[in-house]
């Protein structure tokens, strides 16, 4: 139960299990109802591009994903207690390919039918269908080194020259545990963990477009009150009510932008790092009556449902289509996909 970082004892585990069992008694998996991906495919670059800043969607040959339980799609498709503690990697917004919802790899595949690397099933990072989604539920930024090594190892079985899109999404668990270990989860340490991961990728892997996804402000979870949400919150994110976490979150955001502008990651044509900020100022979607729309959450009121994964995939795709100065810092529920022109490059 590492994904529930507040579970410290057997008694805690039994308590959370019983709460989740009761929460599931009246739970129905929400169906996605967002805009469908209907962009017209544009062709690959001719000749083959050598500059990571001049990649069209069709130029992406391999998709990879690094991160925590959100990238692993923990609980995204669960409909009962036994299913909750699974990683539904096919539904991962950045690393999966689903027949039910749109995901970033699915969108890329529209442009390049030969795309490889995406997850297609359930299981941990080394399961048969995980492929290049190496995210680990419960991971913190200091775990990135191990994930990078796993990705490098797996990529030995893939074409070495293909252009890779690698999503790196980490930090939520760091923020959720900051108040317990403030000297460990500092913005400086967060930055260094990511820098070292990127240096390793740069040295070993050619032809990479890296999307650094800003983690959301976990203090928003405090707004989900009542019922099982309030009961489970201490086990999921013990620091979500600490207002100081907002400042740490801002420090994480600054760290990611500093990494994006670091000369070490801008001195090679075949390696590019871009911040995707669609979760920076995210707000929890609401229903017409003003209540929070819990269908965007798994029943534990913490992890994304597959409906939220589809919303995140749309927002991430649109960030990739937007110029740096125009990138949206929050997903906009109901917005259409931004389709590229024939000469448009990933941003």
Active-site entry in 211, 303, 305, 309: 303
C-alpha angle 179/182/188, rounded to 5°? 135
Q: Is 303 a catalytic residue?
A: yes
177, two tokens: 């545990």
Point out the catalytic residue in the list 59, 61, 68, 69. Answer: 69
Question: Distance between CA atoms of 195 and 201, rounded to whole angstroms?
Answer: 10
Residue with tokens 């919150």: 233
End-to-end CA distance of the chain, in Å?
37
Q: Decide: residue 2, CB within 10 A, 0-12 exposed, 13-18 middle, 19+ buried.
A: exposed
163-169 sheet: strands from edge to edge: 60-67, 163-169, 208-213, 271-276
Phi, psi values for residue 272, rounded to 5°: -140, 135
Of the CA atoms within 13 Å of residue 306, those in its CB half-sphere come to 24
Q: In 3D, which of 209, 208, 191, 172 has the Cα closest to residue 316?
A: 209
- Between CA 208 and CA 118 the distance in angstroms is 16
Q: Which of 61, 77, 102, 174 is catalytic?
A: 174
Structure-token pair, residue 60 = 């992406």
Q: Is 174 a catalytic residue?
A: yes
Output phi, psi for 147, to 5 deg: -65, -40
Q: Is the peptide bond before 184 cis (omega within 30 degrees of 0)?
A: no
Q: Is residue 309 within 8 Å of residue 317, measured between CB atoms?
A: no
**C-alpha closest to that of 107 among 255, 258, 316:** 316
CB 272 within 8 Å of CB 208:
yes
Residues serving a catalytic function are 69, 174, 303
């Amino acid at each position: 139960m590492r994904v529930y970082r507040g579970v410290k004892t057997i008694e805690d585990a039994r308590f959370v299990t019983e709460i989740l069992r009761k929460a599931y008694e009246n739970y129905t998996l929400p169906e996605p109802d967002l805009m469908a991906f209907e962009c017209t495919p544009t062709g690959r670059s001719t000749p083959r591009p050598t500059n990571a800043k001049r990649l069209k969607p069709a130029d992406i040959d391999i998709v990879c994903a690094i991160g925590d339980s959100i990238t692993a799609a923990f609980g995204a498709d669960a409909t009962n207690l036994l299913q909750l503690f699974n990683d539904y990697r096919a539904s991962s917004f950045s690393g999966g390919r689903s027949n039910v919802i749109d995901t970033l790899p699915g969108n890329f595949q529209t442009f390049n039918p030969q795309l490889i690397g995406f997850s297609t099933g359930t299981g941990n990072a080394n399961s048969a269908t995980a492929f290049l989604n190496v995210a680990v539920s419960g991971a913190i930024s200091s775990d990135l080194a191990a994930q990078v090594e796993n990705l490098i190892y797996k990529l030995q079985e893939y074409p070495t020259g293909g252009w890779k899109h690698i999503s790196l999404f980490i930090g939520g668990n760091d923020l959720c545990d900051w108040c317990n270990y403030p000297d460990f989860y500092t913005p400086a340490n967060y930055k260094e963990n990511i820098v070292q991961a990127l240096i390793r990728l740069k040295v070993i892997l050619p032809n990479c477009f890296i999307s650094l996804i800003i983690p959301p402000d976990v203090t928003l979870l405090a707004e989900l009150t009542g019922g099982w949400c309030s009961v489970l919150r201490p086990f999921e994110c013990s620091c979500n009510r600490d207002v100081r976490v907002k400042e740490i979150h801002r420090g994480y955001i600054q760290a990611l932008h500093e990494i994006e502008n670091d000369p070490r990651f801008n001195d090679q044509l075949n390696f590019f790092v871009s911040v995707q900020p669609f979760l920076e100022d995210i707000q929890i979607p609401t229903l017409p009556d003003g209540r929070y729309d819990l269908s965007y959450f798994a029943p534990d009121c913490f992890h994304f449902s597959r409906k939220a994964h589809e919303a995140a995939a749309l927002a991430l795709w649109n960030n990739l289509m937007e110029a740096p100065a125009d990138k949206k810092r929050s997903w906009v529920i109901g917005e259409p996909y931004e389709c590229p022109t024939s000469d448009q490059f990933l941003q």
